[in-house]
A and B are shown apart, each in its own frame.
Chain A
């Protein structure tokens, strides 16, 4: 460890990231809240619970097809609260700006941030801005922290998962990761690739109102669907069986991925939620999700099982089995 350095892959959301979190952050900062490794901390206030979370956003380019860093900063934090069953209420905003950034671009980002916050029904109630020397950050870094209220009857966590529960994903996977990569590297695809960046709190709220059979939820951001399902399987101590045919993937995402040697199951999403729900309620919940425009491609993609604890196994289109591991390092496009 002594001469180890931070590599980019330490931030890619896979095993390396987990190692970093455990060996540096948990070790030095650990407490009962952090140890739960949830998307937002649940804190009891007399009889009510609040959810609290924070996230930093660095993305290049800062404006990309389907969104920008401002929209992302609101959606990311809103979604982290929402998947814990919280109603997102207030956000704080910390911005670090690189000297020389055109006012116009900043204005655009902040305007988008404001619009997204209004649409998502959250208020930005505190903020801070720093400007650093040219080269000390890349254009603009944003941190948002968010706080939300958890209704007393809501309690979502992996330990509630049971064999037989169904797994729903709210739409096609991989869109954000591949869109950012294409935008950053100037790769043009027709039809163009677009990020799925959006807030999920209304969709999630509807689902929670509809069914008491929701066990837990996650938003599969960095590391993608495969990594998030692995986290769930490990935390629940149960297996997850996935059906390849059932996982929604946009044809243009599939094509771009196969060109670049990337697997959409490991690419980031910024507007998707994975929902673990009792078998009894699954089709009702799915139907409701599909009523939303952002949920029209939702599908039941698999189920919880006790057959292979802590492992995610996918039945391929050919009927063969494939173990899906967590992402190791960062996904690197291959030579084509």
Chain B
């Protein structure tokens, strides 16, 4: 362990050890990593042949446009209060964003936890309160707790748009996709605190790729990259856990049980990647009364997708980077985002935009 403070002196030899004599592509699959990497400028320190790619790690970004359009339709229904995490608010659809719907009079409220949404349902019994449940294994348990609360209190006016996604199936899809050319993964520390590290073993064993579960400080990430480069050099691949202060061997049993009680795996549509088998969570049949799309008959509604020129889908697969997009920074900015990757602070485009490095100085 390097400790949480890394002096510039200690940094030098470490960086030297990271360097390697061929082109390397490492993908991070967690929005918090994307943000931390951009913010700390880690890419400026790495050798040019050691590239970091942002994968499908930002919950808002991976949400399929079809689902976004359905959420926007839901927001137009009378008597509905939409509750959502803040970064969903500005994601554009073919006919505006939730934020614009709000300005037009729709009742849309930012919440910080699914339980806040339940509280809103409790105080507004005459309205339908819908929580937009996006996120990975880290968010699902908190939604399960909210559902449990709503069930106990008989809050029939509470429901969720269940768009939860799972990390393991998408990793497999990326590995099976020959075009992505990934040499290793920086694995998400938070998700791993729930699911533990065992489910990642196929990455090393089946696909012979480097992988390290990493914490979120710049030093954590640097140390993880160093571990990854060591795996690449020795050719001995295994799941290493850099985030030992967070990830316990057995994961979080209570959280997993909460997930399994309310949800079951289902096929899920990912932006830019498509449908992946068993890569999402849906409500178990006995809890389908909480399914907002069912309740409002939006499940099979056909939605129009307007072409926007956004290449978020390619970025999420590590094929393109934000700067490759012709709209980046010109037409598409956090102020008027064209795609979701520019909306969420964890999106690859927003991270590149906000935390541009020294290379734009003088431009």
Contact B103 A308 (CB under 8 A): no
| Structural contact, B362 and A308, CB atoms closer than 8 A | yes
The residue of chain B having its C-beta at the shortest distance from the C-beta of A329 within the complex is B335
We find that the number of chain B residues with CB closer than 8 angstroms to chain A is: 50
Q: A323 touching B85 by the CB < 8 A rule?
A: no
Shortest CB distance B163–A (Å): 11
A residues less than 8 Å from B35 (CB atoms): 261
In the complex, how many angstroms separate the beta carbon of B329 from the nearest chain A beta carbon? 10
Task: Tell me how far the C-beta of A21 lies from the nearest C-beta in chain B, rounded to whole angstroms.
Answer: 15
Query: Which residues of chain A in 292-336 are interfacial with respect to chain B, using CB atoms and an 8 Å cutoff?
Result: 307-308, 311, 313, 316-323, 325, 328-329, 332-336
Least distance between B15 CB and chain A CB atoms (Å): 10
Instruction: Decide if A332 touches B333 in the complex (CB within 8 Å).
Output: no
For this complex, into which size category does the number of interface residues on chain A fall? 20 to 34
With beta carbons under 8 angstroms apart, the residue of A317, A323, A336 that contacts B356 is A323
Q: How far is the CB of B89 from chain A (nearest CB, A)?
A: 6
Using CB atoms, name the residue of chain A closest to B354: A325
On whether the beta carbons of A334 and B11 are closer than 8 Å, the reply is no
Is B104 within 8 A of A332, CB to CB? no
CA distance A322 to B354 in the complex (A): 9
Mark interface residues in B91-111 (1 if CB within 8 Å of A CB, else 0). 000000001101110000011
Per a CB cutoff under 8 Å, which of B11, B102, B334, B361 touches A321? B361
Does A128 sit within 8 A of B, measured CB to CB? no
Contacts of A321 in B (CB 8 A): 41, 44, 357-358, 361
- On chain A, the residues within 8 Å of B256 by CB distance are none
Enumerate chain B residues within 8 angstroms of A260, measured Cβ to Cβ: 112
Residue numbers in B under 8 Å from A329 (CB-CB):
90, 334-335
- Interface 1/0s, chain A 1-18, versus B by CB < 8 A? 000011111000001100
Report the separation of the CA atoms of residues A96 and B39 in the bound assembly, to the nearest whole angstrom.
42
A104 within 8 A of B: no
Cβ-defined contact, B11 with A335, below 8 A: no
Establish whether residues B85 and A334, one from each chain, have CB atoms under 8 Å apart when the complex forms. Answer: yes
A194 → B minimal CB distance (Å): 19
Considering residues A321, A323, A325, A333, which has the most beta carbons from chain B within 10 angstroms of its beta carbon? A323
> Are B346 and A261 in contact (CB-based, < 8 A)?
yes
Query: Is A208 positioned at the interface, with any CB of B under 8 Å from its CB?
Result: no
Complex interface: chain B residues within 8 A of A16 (CB)? 335
When distances are taken between beta carbons in the complex, the residues of chain A under 8 Å from B102 are 7-8
A:87-125 near B, CB below 8 Å: none
Beyond known contacts A318-B42, A334-B345: 20 more, CB 8 A cutoff? A7-B99, A185-B116, A187-B112, A261-B87, A313-B358, A317-B218, A318-B6, A318-B41, A319-B8, A320-B42, A321-B361, A322-B39, A322-B357, A323-B355, A323-B360, A328-B333, A333-B85, A334-B85, A334-B344, A335-B134
**B residues engaging A (CB < 8 A)?**
6, 8, 11, 31-32, 35, 39-42, 44-45, 59-60, 85-90, 99-100, 102-104, 110-112, 116, 134-135, 138-139, 216, 218, 333-335, 344-346, 353-358, 360-362
- What are 14 residue pairs bridging A and B, where the CB atoms are less than 8 Å apart in the complex? A7-B99, A185-B111, A261-B35, A261-B345, A318-B42, A320-B41, A320-B44, A322-B357, A328-B333, A329-B335, A332-B87, A332-B89, A335-B135, A335-B346
